[in-house]
Amino acid sequence: MSSKDVYKRSVYREPAPVLDQDNPFQAMVERFDVAARILELDPGFYEYLVTPAKIHIVGIPVVMDTGKIKMFEGYRVIHSEILGPSKGGIRYAPDVNVEEVKALAAWMTWKCAVVDVPFGGAKGGIVCNPREMSPGELERLTRRYTANMMDVFGPERDIPAPDMNTNEQIMAWILDTYSMHARRTETAVVTGKPILLGGSAGRREATGRGVMTVTLAAMERLGLRASESTVAVQGFGNVGSVAADLLAKQGCRILAVSDVSGGYYNANGLDIQAMIAYSASHGNSLEGYPDAEPISNDELLSLDVDVLAPCAKEDQVTLKNADKIHAKIISEGANGPTTPKADAVLADRGVLVIPDILANAGGVTVSYFEWVQDRQGYFWTEDRVNRRLDRMMHAAFDSVFETAQKHDTTLRIGAYVRGISKVAGALKIRGIYA
Ligand code: NAD
C-alpha cells in the first residue's frame, strides 16, 4: 500500500454529513481537507495542523454593579505557534463558544501565513452581553480574564487584539493588568491599543484598508474600474465602515450598508462620511439615518452590485441566498461569512470570492507592525504603515491568485494552500519534539 493510500484511509475520512450553517470549526476543516489533498499533505502533519495546540477555559467572577457576583466563561484557543508567538483577537458576545473560537484561531494561523507575518494563530472569547454591562463591569471582567491568562499571554507567547465588541479601551485594560502582574509596562503584550499607549498609527483602519486594497486588486483582474463600480457593505463597525469609506474615496458608489438596526440603500450612492458621523453620535447605530431607504439584510446581500463586502459576522452567505447573489466579487471583511456549501454555488456561478483569511488580513498585518514598533520603541508614521500594509496585501493577493490559478481552484482554497504549505514547511524543518 502506498503512503498515499494510507493517507486516504486515515485522513480522507468520509466527510461528516455537513449542514449548511455548520459548526465553524467543521467549516474550516472542510476547506483544510481540500487544500490538504492538493498539497498531498503527510497524514501526521494533517492531524497536527488541524488540531489546536492549547485550549484554555476559565471561569471569571465579576462583582456586578448590584454588588452580586456573576460568573462568566472565557476562552483562549492557541491553534498554532509554529511560525512564532500566537496572535488573535478577543470577542465578547453572548453566543461565543469553544467551537467558534477554535475555528477563528485556526483561521488566524492560515491568515498570518498568507500575509507572511511571523505569528501563529489564536483567538479568545468571553460569553457575555457587553451591551447590557456597565463600563465598570466590563473593566472588571477584562482585568480578571487577563489575570487568569497571565501564563498564556505575553509579547513572546500570545498577543491578543480587538475583535467583535472589544476595542482600544479593552486592550488598554489588558495591557495595564498584564503590566501590573509583570511589574513592568509591557506594551507589546497586546495590539489594537490606543496610540498613547504604544498603539500604531493606522491600526484602527487597517482591516478596512486591507479590504479596500484586495477589492481593488480583484476589480483590476476583472477589468472593473472603481469609478464605475457599485458596492454593498454588510456591517458598519470597525471593518465595514472603514472599508465603505475607503472604497468610496477610490470612486466606488456605495449603494447600501447595514448594521444590526437594518440596511440602508441609496441608488445615487450613500454619503459614508455622514453615516460614520451619524452612527458615532447615535450609540454606534445607523437607526433612523435619514438619507437612505430602509432595506432588509437579505435584500442587501442580493443587491445588483459589483462588489459585496460582508463585514459583520459568520454564516451570512449560505445555501439559502448564494444563488441570489448578484455581485461579481465578494470581499470577506468578516471571518467566515460564507458557508462551504455556499462557496460551491458561488464558484459555479463564477463569483470571485476574496476569502476572509486574505481579505481581512490587514488587521493582523498592522498588529504585527504595532508589535514590532513596541519592541523597538520606535514608531512609524501613518503613511509608512499604510504603504507597507498596501505592499504586503498586494503581494498576498497576487500570490493567492497565482496559487489558485496553478491548482485551478478558488481563491479561498488557493489561500489555504498557501497558508498551510508555509506552516507545514516550517513544521517539517522544526521537526516533532519528543
Ligand atoms: P464591530 O463590532 O466593530 O462591528 C460589527 C458590525 O456588524 C456592527 O456594525 C454591527 O451592528 C453589525 N452587525 C452585527 N450583526 C449584523 C447583522 N446580522 N446584519 C448586519 N449587520 C450586523 O466588529 P468588527 O471589528 O468590524 O468585526 C466585524 C467582522 O470582521 C468580524 O467577523 C471580525 O471577526 C472580523 N474581523 C475584524 C477585524 C478587526 O480588526 N476589527 C480583523 C479581522 C476580522
pLDDT tens profile 137-159: 999 999 999 999 999 999 999 99
Q: Is the CB of 128 under 6 A from ligand 1?
A: no
Nearest CA to ligand 1 atom 42: 363
Name the stretches of the chain with pLDDT < 50.
Answer: 1-19
Please report the atom of ligand 1 found closest to the CA of residue 161.
40
Q: Of the candidates 351, 308, 19, which has an alpha carbon nearest to the alpha carbon of residue 343? A: 351
pLDDT computed for residue 404 by the predictor: 97
pLDDT computed for residue 21 by the predictor: 55
Nearest CA to ligand 1 atom 36: 334
pLDDT computed for residue 9 by the predictor: 34
Q: Is the CB of 166 under 6 A from ligand 1?
A: no
Q: Is the CB of 148 under 6 A from ligand 1?
A: no
pLDDT computed for residue 23 by the predictor: 82
In a domain, 262, yes or no: yes
In a domain, 173, yes or no: yes
**Are residue 87 and residue 179 in the same domain, yes or no?**
yes
In a domain, 353, yes or no: yes
**Are residue 345 and residue 220 in the same domain, yes or no?**
yes
In a domain, 378, yes or no: no
Q: Is the CB of 165 under 6 A from ligand 1?
A: yes
Which helix (DSSP H) or strand (DSSP E) does residue 63 occupy?
Answer: strand 54-63
pLDDT computed for residue 10 by the predictor: 34
Q: Is the CB of 367 under 6 A from ligand 1?
A: no
- Those residues whose C-beta lies under 8 Å from the C-beta of residue 343, and which sit 6 or more positions away, are 31, 353, 410, 412
Nearest CA to ligand 1 atom 21: 259
User: Cell 524543518, residue?
Assistant: 429
**Are residue 287 and residue 148 in the same domain, yes or no?**
no
In a domain, 225, yes or no: yes
Contact 417, 403 (CB under 8 A): yes
In a domain, 367, yes or no: no
**Are residue 186 and residue 288 in the same domain, yes or no?**
no
CB atoms < 10 A from the CB of 61, how many?
A: 12
**Are residue 132 and residue 214 in the same domain, yes or no?**
no
In a domain, 112, yes or no: yes
Please report the atom of ligand 1 found closest to the CA of residue 240.
26
In a domain, 146, yes or no: yes
Q: Is the CB of 191 under 6 A from ligand 1?
A: no
Which helix (DSSP H) or strand (DSSP E) does residue 120 occupy?
Answer: strand 120-127
Nearest CA to ligand 1 atom 37: 163
**Are residue 112 and residue 159 in the same domain, yes or no?**
yes
Residues with catalytic function = 123
pLDDT computed for residue 20 by the predictor: 55
How close is the Cα of 260 to the center of ligand 1, in Å? 10
Domain count, the chain: 2
**Are residue 117 and residue 215 in the same domain, yes or no?**
no
